[in-house]
Amino acid sequence: MNASMVFPLRQFAFARGQLDRAAHLRDHADKLAALRARPDAGCYVMQREGMVLRKTDNGLNPMLPYALAKTLPVDSLEIFLGLRGETPLFALPLRRGAEENFNHAGLELSDLRPLATQGLLSHDDLSPLAEAKSLIGWHRRHGFCANCGTPSTPTSAGWRRDCAKCDIQHFPRTDPVAIMLVTDGDTCLLGRSARFASNMWSCLAGFVEPGESIEDAVRREVLEEAGIVCGEVSYFASQPWPYPSSLMIGCVARALTQEITIDPAELEGARWFTRAEAQAMLENRHAEGLTAPNPFAIAHHLLTDWVRNGDS
Ligand SMILES: [Zn+2]
């Protein structure tokens, strides 16, 4: 039975994984070799912020036949991403500097984020692309053992790095970020960071710190950034965010106070919006021209759900 038949899956970018990661195959060189040799084996060839795309009659496709991917200037590092149905999927990083003179018939390079934002990639591809981007970025930033400083070696089909000197295994990291819609009856709190597109307002967000629960992180971030005290915090949904390897944990928080005091180092502004205003922002018809994040981001879905259902 497909998971979507059991759970109502939301269409978040990066979050709708239909891939079986097949972790039990990662340490079997013979089985991986057989998967690579399959004529339907697919591969994403990644560069720092993007990937190689194949021009097809149906547009741009980021999944290349594995055999074609291996003809490109790629690193020896290989990630086994999993199985989509029977089809094995791998990821290979383009060699550093290879993007400079990248000239291969029918192929081009593009950054991931603009294509994902504009909805030009399928959800079937976005989830493994997030997996590939996060993992390859981790390998690039963690070439040395954090315990003794010796160069470490990728193993387990790209899911671990081992240090031969001190015999320690290093696992890829995921950084939890709490992103929250603060509500107070028929109003919600949105903020603006200086790096946002002009006129866009969104949910507040911040990293969960070591030793902190998600709920405490939500209350701390809202207090630090906007001076609002929150009570009840409830979980909404999560979204992998491969920039470089975050997990956005969407929450709804009930405000206990209303007076806003922003931290100017974090926010340019924060204000309360009515439900009608939030709806107008989502539909791009706000009287002041203010907008909310597009469906690419979990903030859009937090806001949409509240506009539709309120503090349920
Ligand atoms: Zn070591």
Distances (CA, A) of 62 to 107, 138, 166, 295: 10, 21, 39, 21
**What is the predicted pLDDT for the residue at 11?**
61
Task: Give the Cα-Cα-Cα angle 305, 308, 312 (nearest 5 degrees).
Answer: 75
Q: Quick one: average pLDDT of 292-299? A: 92
**Cα 31 to ligand 1 centre (Å):** 29
**What is the predicted pLDDT for the residue at 57?**
86
**Cα 157 to ligand 1 centre (Å):** 20
**Residue 312: band (very low, low, confident or very high) from pLDDT cuts 50, 70, 90:** low
Query: Which residue(s) pair with 153 in the sheet?
Result: 162
Higher pLDDT, 290 or 16: 290
Q: Is 260 helix (H, G, I), strand (E, B) or coil?
A: coil
Distance, in Å, from the CA atom of 61 to the CA atom of 310, rounded to the nearest integer, reads 39
**What is the predicted pLDDT for the residue at 245?**
93
**Cα 167 to ligand 1 centre (Å):** 6
**Cα 81 to ligand 1 centre (Å):** 26
Contact 251, 234 (CB under 8 A): yes
**Cα 130 to ligand 1 centre (Å):** 28
- pTM for this structure? 0.91
pLDDT at 4 over 60: no
**What is the predicted pLDDT for the residue at 194?**
92
Q: Quick one: average pLDDT of 254-270? A: 96
Of 102-106, 262-266, 307-311, which gets the smallest average pLDDT? 307-311
Q: Which helix (H) or strand (E) holds 299?
A: helix 298-309
Transcribe 73-142 into DSSP letters.
SB-S--EEEEEETTEEEEEEEBPTTTTTT---TTEEEEEHHHHHHTT-S-HHHHHHHHHHHHHHHHHHH-
Q: Minimal CA–CA distance to 120: which of 66, 65, 69, 53?
A: 53
**What is the predicted pLDDT for the residue at 10?**
58
Tens of pLDDT along 214-232? 999 999 999 999 999 999 9
